[in-house]
């Protein structure tokens, strides 16, 4: 199974914890993990590898060539790393037909096979939405999105690399950013939605991108079908600590942090984490 992560050193510990959670929850699967970065050192990669089963995890350091960004709008707000997710199909090995992109601020609780093997049905991407229906119209106007398309969270995306290589227009990405720059609140996520909403397959966030906010809103709207931590442990595949509410911060306020703390404790007990 192919996994893609992009990060800087500030999220190294979270990356290690996330990958270890994948190892625990997918005991029969081998992984090629591509880490697109511009700042990780050899020692950082040793930290990652030492925490994982080396026979099941191949960790690949991906240095994205600067030539890919010729003509790209690059600034403090739009660093080149922003494009790593958008242009994954352009720099990953040509023999990969799909890859599962994962933010480092997640925990995987159950096997990824069902998500990874989804039929794209001609779409570029498969992802979840965290946006309520009444906010969809605002995003349609703000980003010039097609009507009745979900605004997806870009922290977990299954990518159809084969189709993206054939059809992705790099110049169209740059032109979109220049045209809608004043309206981009979450730059790369907004760009992905603005350009590819019509070619994105939406999957269930309760299973594949569950945040504390999504859990809370679900339980407020479904009083007869509330979800508790036991249900999450049995059924949810990916827990996502998106936004500012993260369990490694003192200000964290949520229920799903228990899964992060459990995984962190296991790694510390095994002396597999020191970052």
pLDDT at 114: 98
pLDDT at 274: 65
pLDDT at 133: 67
Q: Does domain 2-269 have CATH number 3.40.50.300?
A: no
Residues near 115 by Cβ (< 8 Å), separated by ≥ 6?
100, 126, 158, 203, 207, 208, 237, 238
225-268: pLDDT as tens digits: 999 999 999 999 999 999 999 999 999 999 999 999 999 999 99
Q: State how far the Cα of 196 lies from the Cα of 187, in Å rounded to an integer.
A: 14
133-142: pLDDT as tens digits: 667 778 888 9
Residue 275 pLDDT more than 60?
no
Tell me which of 76 and 104 has the higher pLDDT: 104
Mean pLDDT rounded to a whole number for the chain: 93
For residue 104, the number of C-alpha atoms closer than 13 Å in the C-beta half-sphere is 20
Q: What is the mean pLDDT of residues 51-67?
A: 93
175-219: pLDDT as tens digits: 999 999 889 888 899 999 999 999 999 999 999 999 999 999 999
pLDDT at 77: 63
Q: What is the percent of the chain where pLDDT is above 90?
A: 78
Q: How confident is the model at residue 270 (pLDDT cuts 50, 70, 90)?
A: confident
Q: What is the percent of the chain where pLDDT is above 70?
A: 97
Percent helix, strand, coil in the chain, to 5, is: 45, 15, 40
Q: Are 215 and 232 in contact (CB under 8 A)?
A: yes
Tell me which of 2 and 182 has the higher pLDDT: 2
Q: State how far the Cα of 240 lies from the Cα of 106, in Å rounded to an integer.
A: 4
Q: State how far the Cα of 145 lies from the Cα of 196, in Å rounded to an integer.
A: 9
pLDDT at 131: 82
pLDDT at 263: 98
């Amino acid at each position: 199974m192919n996994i893609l992560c992009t990060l800087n050193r500030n999220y190294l510990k979270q990356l290690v914890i996330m990958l270890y959670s994948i190892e625990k929850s997918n005991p029969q699967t081998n992984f090629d993990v591509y880490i697109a970065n511009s700042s990780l050192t050899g020692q950082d990669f040793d930290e990652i590898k030492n925490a994982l089963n080396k026979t099941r995890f191949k960790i690949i350091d991906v240095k994205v060539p600067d030539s890919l960004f010729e003509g790209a709008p690059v600034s403090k707000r739009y660093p080149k790393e922003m494009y790593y997710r958008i242009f994954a199909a352009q720099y990953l090995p040509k023999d990969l037909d799909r890859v599962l992109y994962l933010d480092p601020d997640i925990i995987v609780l159950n096997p990824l096979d069902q998500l990874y093997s989804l039929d794209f049905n001609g779409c570029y991407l498969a992802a979840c939405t965290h946006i309520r229906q009444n906010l969809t119209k605002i995003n349609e106007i703000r980003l010039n999105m097609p009507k009745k398309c979900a605004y997806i969270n870009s922290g977990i995306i299954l990518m159809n690399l084969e189709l993206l290589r054939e059809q992705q227009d790099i110049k169209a990405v740059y032109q979109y950013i220049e045209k809608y720059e004043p309206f981009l609140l979450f730059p790369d996520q907004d760009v992905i939605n603005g350009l590819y909403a019509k070619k994105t397959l939406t999957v269930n966030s309760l299973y594949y991108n569950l945040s504390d906010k999504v859990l809370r809103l679900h339980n407020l709207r479904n009083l007869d079908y509330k979800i508790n931590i036991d249900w999450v442990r049995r059924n949810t595949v990916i827990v996502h600590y998106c936004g500012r509410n993260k369990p490694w911060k003192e200000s964290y306020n949520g229920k799903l942090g228990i899964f992060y703390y459990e995984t962190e404790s296991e790694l510390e007990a095994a002396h597999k984490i020191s970052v």
